[in-house]
Structure 1
């Protein structure tokens, strides 16, 4: 069978064949030798960036890979400067995978991966989805995600959907009338799996519950539902399992890194120990024992274009006591909770809709450092932001145009420049808050 998805990666310059071979070799490393592999790879990536990356060398300030726990922890604020200043020697932006973080933690920035590193990410994705019988080359995905609404961005995303064998359900409007249209697609298409934002899929499950519909009866080809980007609560998981009639799998990832943890067939949240090194640190940036709560800090073992070394992702979690170097288990993740915005027209939009809106204010010069969006009334929102200079009238107009496009017209927005933003007692910045 022709593997369209593999072919699409190859023609985009991602050496997926070589990456999958290396990934297989990593999987074959025995438990007894795995600590040696991890320690070797993390030393290798640090030494590479100390030699080839001026940004990281300055940040490390004389520290070396010989004393891992003395190396600096990179924060998202550290990365809020022009991308060109953060790239390693010999890497050209035209030959890299470049993207923007979602800003779900309120700290947006642009990042880069070299092509081989991104191919390793895809090898990792393919392996983990394969645990649940999903093959990107043949399995048909019902995709609950946002999508750019500008003409070129929209067409690019639709092409990716075609190559990735997926049908997209845009999640900007999740009113009952739209959810009924979603349901009709399930009646008429042979989907193998659902993948997308947790809150959007939960709203779909609640709609099915009100209608007393079992999705598996409507679409018998469905095998599994994989949720991502937001916290999955046990109550919601039970509801989805009941209304969909299929297993619900929990994914935890970050676009700038990789899949971080993925629920395996035993229901364990297995941490990616092939392309990442995951630590749980205390407030002094020192590792805590397994079973103790701390900040999730991650090292990308293969990205040579851009350093993600001891990178604080902004979440808090706990590794299970039985974790090993080869099979770490994420016992608990704390954070990534998004509210639902309810609009005057009756539309319900998940907080992550604001990812597409706030793209308008994410600039490579790093002016906007942090932002949060608060819904204060049914038609009123407040955007608090930290920046070096105040947003211009032109920028505000651009944001308001994006809001009208992605949400609906005639919403009221107030923009408030601040020196700092309020955080939760765990230090988490919640990007969207509903005060209704």
Structure 2
């Protein structure tokens, strides 16, 4: 069994930069685990600590049940492919793949057969006698993978192996990597900044930001049910709609969310209502993906179509609706004015009880509006299967699939329960 376990791992450089912060993670034997995040988030540093190329500042690492903090790289039973799979230019493809076997003194006929089998699996069998200079970028990266896998390591590490390839080659090689890794059942840690790679390759994916592991789950879990606002925004093409909302608990109606000058009401029967009661009088951020909105004559959100984009199988539409949007990178820098949803007449027994018990805050004081400049648009993005009947400049109303609504607190974390 070759599993990877990290327990409260930190990396602090001599200049004080805290690159990896308290990461705990378990990658089971045979799993293809993808570390995803923007440049500088610490994902490659974490991979290099697993490889033994970076020293762990604090925390513990186990590889295949062995405590590995002090193990040199050669004793960790792993192989690594980097962004640019550097090959020996004077050796042909066969010689490059065979190099690790030569170092270990294995020149048996069986090992030569393995080279041919692996090159066939990687689609480079016909290049075995060619030099690297005659290969395409995709072929060179396949050779680098073959050289790493020929030793049959217990752990396979890949650091952005496709980032130097064009889009067509990335798609082709991504499918080959997925099939190959799963066929040989080797525990794999794969680092990328590309959400498409992560969602299509991974058994599970971990999303990092500023050295912190934000969320871990299957691709569908982290997409449909993200733990933080950053994860929801990062795993989103087109961008998710993140809208600032005020929360109001009303005995007669339920939980009222103020969206600009419009109101979204969740009845008390909604399973999220009990959690949202404690946020009465506060700000939250509500998130809707583009496919959770649809044109409807009685839709809640009223706006005007600003632009349409054709994406082959679908259209994306951008509507100006005057809603206070939130930047997921700096979620609460500029609080929008309180959009006071109108409660029913009278305070209501429940609200009085909650306030007297100190469970909910007093109603917020309205804030003056803020002018953020014309360069900051607050478009609502939604999908259309066809642009039929929709043109730029049209007034439009949009209905919301509230079952797919995401709610985030002031710390950027989910307020409504994450269903895992």
Structure in which a larger fraction of residues adopt helix: 1
**TM-score w.r.t. length of structure 2:** 0.29
**TM-score w.r.t. length of structure 1:** 0.29
Bigger radius of gyration: 2
